[in-house]
Amino acid sequence: MLRKERHNIKNHVKFQKILNKYISKSKRHLDFGCGFGCTPYLLACEYSEMKVIGMDIKREEINFGRKRYIAPNLKLMVSNKINGKFDTISTFGVLHEIVGDLNHYLKKFHSHLNPHGKVLIFDFRKVSRKKLMNFYYKPRLEELSKSKVNFFNLKSFDEEYKHHCKWTVKQFVSMFEKIGFKTLEIKLDEIGLEYVGEKR
């Protein structure tokens, strides 16, 4: 099993409760930035009546996922351009990776949701350097030390902190509410957050 695949399964289990609460009645779901497609595959298997689209810009990962994750209600696409309407849209650890105008994508989420459609966002939040070190950087180093990764390709902790810790909870909520989302729920863990917003 791939390291990224193990990570996706772990996250799916972690966020299972909030996913079940808001996705169970969805007829069309988009997972934006899906990587190999593990998460949309798990959703497609769990909700067989729901059409699930997984989208990512990395062709190699999507091609791998198309061979590994197969379900009649699942489609994996190489793209970052959203088409069609959805009842729910999710992203897992994607927003902090976006370079450029993040509002462009948030507006796209809003415009491609059906009335009262929901976004489910799982990402990092701004925490102390100590927290990111203890709950992300050190465990990541320990995991990578057991694999055959070239450590010269790793970012320094200062770079990782700047890359991951971009928004306070207040700033995160404000970004979505300015676009036109109503905040339904927000939960925090040691270094991340779960945000659910409804299209107004």
CA distance 145 to 38: 24
Averaged pLDDT, 17-43: 94
- Exposure string over 37-60, b if 16+ CB within 10 A, otherwise e: bbbbbbbbeebeebbbbbbbeeee
* Same domain? 25 vs 58: yes
* Same domain? 65 vs 52: yes
* Same domain? 114 vs 143: no
Model pTM? 0.91
* Same domain? 115 vs 141: no
Averaged pLDDT, 44-67: 96
Query: Are 40 and 19 a contacting pair, CB within 8 Å?
Result: no
Residue 166 has which token pair?
A: 């971009």
CA distance 29 to 179: 20
CATH of the domain at 188: 3.40.50.150
Q: What pLDDT band is residue 7 in, cutting at 50, 70 and 90? A: low
Q: What is the DSSP letter of 136?
A: I
Interval 183-199: pLDDT, tens: 999 999 999 999 999 99
Q: What pLDDT band is residue 3 in, cutting at 50, 70 and 90? A: low
Domain range enclosing 137: 129-159
* Same domain? 62 vs 152: no
CA distance 35 to 4: 9
pLDDT score at 100? 86
* Same domain? 73 vs 150: no
Interval 83-130: pLDDT, tens: 999 999 999 999 999 988 999 999 999 999 999 999 999 999 999 999
Which residue is associated with the tokens 């700047």? 162
Residue 134 has which token pair?
A: 């203890």
* Same domain? 95 vs 117: yes
* Same domain? 138 vs 172: no
pLDDT score at 90? 97
Q: How many domains does the chain have?
A: 2
* Same domain? 10 vs 101: yes
* Same domain? 66 vs 17: yes
Interval 121-172: pLDDT, tens: 999 999 999 999 999 888 888 877 776 555 445 678 899 999 999 999 999 9
pLDDT score at 152? 46
pLDDT score at 109? 98
* Same domain? 107 vs 135: no
* Same domain? 39 vs 114: yes
